[in-house]
Amino acid sequence: MNRFPPLSASLALSACLLCWFYSSGCQKDSAAKFDDRPQLTAAVTLRDVTFHSSALGREMTYRAIFPTGLGPGKKLQVVYLLHGGGGGFRDWSNYSDAGRYADRGILLVMPEGNSSYYVNSAEQPKERYEDYIVQDLMADVEGRFAVGKGRQNRAIAGVSMGGYGAINLALKHPNLFGFAAGISPAIDVPNRPFSIRRLEQWRRFQSIFGEIGSNTRRENDPFLVVRKSDPAIAPYFYLTCGDKEGLMASNKQFASLLSQRNFHYEFHEVPGDHNWKQWRAQVPNLFQRILTILNL
């Protein structure tokens, strides 16, 4: 007696299982990944903008949130919000209530940064994400929306990868921003040593920053850049890090360096781990400081 089903039956069963797997698990995960539920109030308006980036040579999308009732002649101040690694331009609006602060006369701009760390890649000449942010994106925003010009009308903030990006861009372009915030910033990424346990991450960082000791690494290492920066013209720096994060030591070291060089800054050790649960809790204090420093 044959105790096993015929081959055709086995294939049919496998096909059914694969069909169930893809129709239930995969589609559910895919739907969740692109589920877009921005947290808004009636006082603000959301618009997703697609424009051509010369630095990247392709179309890019950013999310803009602004007051619904903008009076004639009114100029908005801009807050650029950078997402973390593995995230996207929808994150700040979906995982936090940052959008509600737009009704205070602010334009919130949330660009797509992919996994770029917002720098010009060392090994991919067409991946010029620093130029995309400070040239293409800012030009499109200021040409499309009624916003004030000058650094006192601009702030930049980010979480994790975006926190690194915000601090790095503000250090390298102090004339552009009056306020820069890193929420759990991955501040040490350019000088992280090789680790066999994180081989894929190391390869990705090498593609972005180049070999250890390369010009791209040195030019995008906040610990080095801050030593050459002038505190008198630098923006106000706002840093936070969760007490359960592996990034705490590097963030404390960077805050200490800011203190030694007499930068205007504040650093807060807060409860929580490296996730949106912790970052959401920082949003009210973040915007309170933005509104204060930018005199809103």
pLDDT (0 to 100) of residue 243: 98
* HEC profile of 55-106: CCCEEEEEEEEEECCCCCCCCEEEEEEECCCCCCCCHHHHHCCHHHHHHHCE
pLDDT number for residue 76: 96
pLDDT in tens, 30-83: 334 568 999 999 999 999 999 999 999 999 999 999 999 877 888 999 999 999
Helix locations, the chain, DSSP H = 7-21, 27-33, 91-95, 129-131, 138-144, 161-172, 199-209, 215-219, 222-228, 248-260, 276-293
For residue 161, give the DSSP letter: H
pTM given for the model: 0.87
Average pLDDT over residues 76-104: 97
Please state, for a pLDDT cut of 90, what percent of the chain lies above it. Answer: 79
Domains of the chain and CATH, by start: 41-293 (3.40.50.1820)
What is the amino acid identity at position 34?
F
Counted residue by residue, the chain has a size of 296
- Residues 187 and 37: their CA atoms lie apart, in Å, by 30
Torsion sign, CA atoms 282, 283, 284, 289: positive
Task: Report the chain's mean pLDDT, rounded to a whole number.
Answer: 89
Distance, in Å, from the CA atom of 253 to the CA atom of 194, rounded to the nearest integer, reads: 20
- Which residue bears the tokens 């593995």? 86
Residue 10: count other Cβ atoms within 10 Å of its Cβ. 11
Using DSSP bridges, classify how beta strands 106-111 and 58-67 pair: parallel, antiparallel or unpaired. antiparallel
Contact assessment for residue 239 and residue 251, using Cβ atoms and an 8 Å cutoff: yes
Candidates 267, 50, 295; CA nearest to 163 is 267
- Tens digits of residue pLDDT in 243-275: 999 999 999 999 999 999 999 999 999 999 999
Residue 190 to residue 3: CA distance in whole angstroms = 60
